[in-house]
Amino acid sequence: MTTDGGKVALVTGGARGIGAAIAARLARDGYRVVVADREAPPAHGAGRYVACDVSDAAAVAALLETIRATEGRLDALVCNAGIMIRKPVEELTLAEWSAVIGTNLTSAFLLIRAAAGLLRAARGAVVMIASTRAHMSEADTEAYAASKGGLVALTHALAISLGPEVRVNCISPGWIHTNGAAPRPEDHADHPAGRVGVAEDIAALAAFLLGPDAGFVTGAEFVADGGMTRKMIYRD
């Protein structure tokens, strides 16, 4: 699909991993892409890069001002920025908890608050990148799970508040391989889909949700995990 000329997308946490794949896909689909991240993307990264700590209200306000001044509109917002601090809850400091919640959840509120006018004017769409960890957990991931659960709830709240001008949906990825050691054959076999996910799987779903073919879809969570949250596992 090629969008009509000049549509603009903002992707946070877009320098690497899932965010970079989404930015690249949207650029191929014809969007002018703005990538916001604390770290610069590689030289071949898609779109215009803006250094931004999305947990900081002033930085987010400045980011949206650059979009108003440079691109002049905003049709699509992807709230993808996220961090994890994994440690036993007894050892997790309030500062660490706040850093995870700020980057993963509060950032989405700040971005949409700052971007709402532009999104309404464009009759745009928002995609939150949550996680299957909103529904299931490993040990010592309380802050991350809470932040991702918050994004799922924020999605339906915003869909009601911003509709019908703006659609808001979220994607909850499962195991998406973006770096590190390649998954083992047994890792692929564990998935009902037959493989571990790749970033392009999430990018394709985000592109659909941001585009006109999803015009009747809002307030929804899409779990993209190869079927793992539906698989019952028993041990003898």
Q: Which of 85, 127, 132 is nearest to 108 (CA)?
A: 127
Predicted confidence (pLDDT) at residue 2 exceeds the cutoff of 70: no
CA distance 85 to 92: 8
**Could you tell me if 48 and 70 are in contact, meaning their C-beta atoms sit under 8 angstroms apart?**
yes
pLDDT tens for residues 107-128? 999 999 999 999 999 999 999 9
pLDDT band at 144 (very low <50, low <70, confident <90, very high): very high
**Is residue 234 among the annotated active site residues?**
no
pLDDT band at 1 (very low <50, low <70, confident <90, very high): very low
pLDDT tens for residues 197-223? 899 999 999 999 999 999 999 999 999
The mean pLDDT value for 134-159 works out to 96
Amino acid at 220: A
Predicted confidence (pLDDT) at residue 177 exceeds the cutoff of 60: yes
Largest CA distance in the chain: 62
Residue 119: the pLDDT is: 98
Predicted confidence (pLDDT) at residue 85 exceeds the cutoff of 90: yes
Predicted confidence (pLDDT) at residue 73 exceeds the cutoff of 60: yes
Beta carbons within 10 angstroms of residue 181's beta carbon: 6
Residue 236: the pLDDT is: 65
pLDDT tens for residues 16-66? 999 999 999 999 999 999 999 999 988 777 889 999 999 999 999 999 999
Here the tokens at position 4 are 């009509």
The percentage of the chain sitting over the pLDDT mark of 70, rounded to a whole number, equals 97
List, in sequence order, every beta strand (DSSP E) within the chain: 8-12, 32-37, 48-51, 76-79, 125-129, 167-173, 176-177, 197-198, 221-224
Q: How far is CA 33 from CA 22, 45, 50, 222, in A?
A: 10, 10, 11, 23
**Angle at the Cα of 12 (from 11 to 13), degrees rounded to 5?**
120
Determine which one of 31, 49, 144, 234 is catalytic.
144
**Could you tell me if 218 and 168 are in contact, meaning their C-beta atoms sit under 8 angstroms apart?**
yes
Structurally, at CATH architecture level, domain 8-230 sits in 3-Layer(aba) Sandwich (3.40)
Residue 189: the pLDDT is: 84
- The CA radius of gyration of the chain, in Å to the nearest whole number, is 17
The percentage of the chain sitting over the pLDDT mark of 90, rounded to a whole number, equals 82
What average pLDDT does the chain have?
94
Predicted TM-score (pTM) of the model is 0.94
Q: Which of 191, 105, 195 is nearest to 150 (CA)?
A: 105
Q: Which of 93, 95, 54 is nearest to 77 (CA)?
A: 54
CA distance 71 to 101: 29
Predicted confidence (pLDDT) at residue 95 exceeds the cutoff of 60: yes
Predicted confidence (pLDDT) at residue 4 exceeds the cutoff of 60: no
The mean pLDDT value for 162-185 works out to 93
**Could you tell me if 174 and 148 are in contact, meaning their C-beta atoms sit under 8 angstroms apart?**
no
**Could you tell me if 42 and 59 are in contact, meaning their C-beta atoms sit under 8 angstroms apart?**
no
Residue 235: the pLDDT is: 73
Residue 18: the pLDDT is: 96
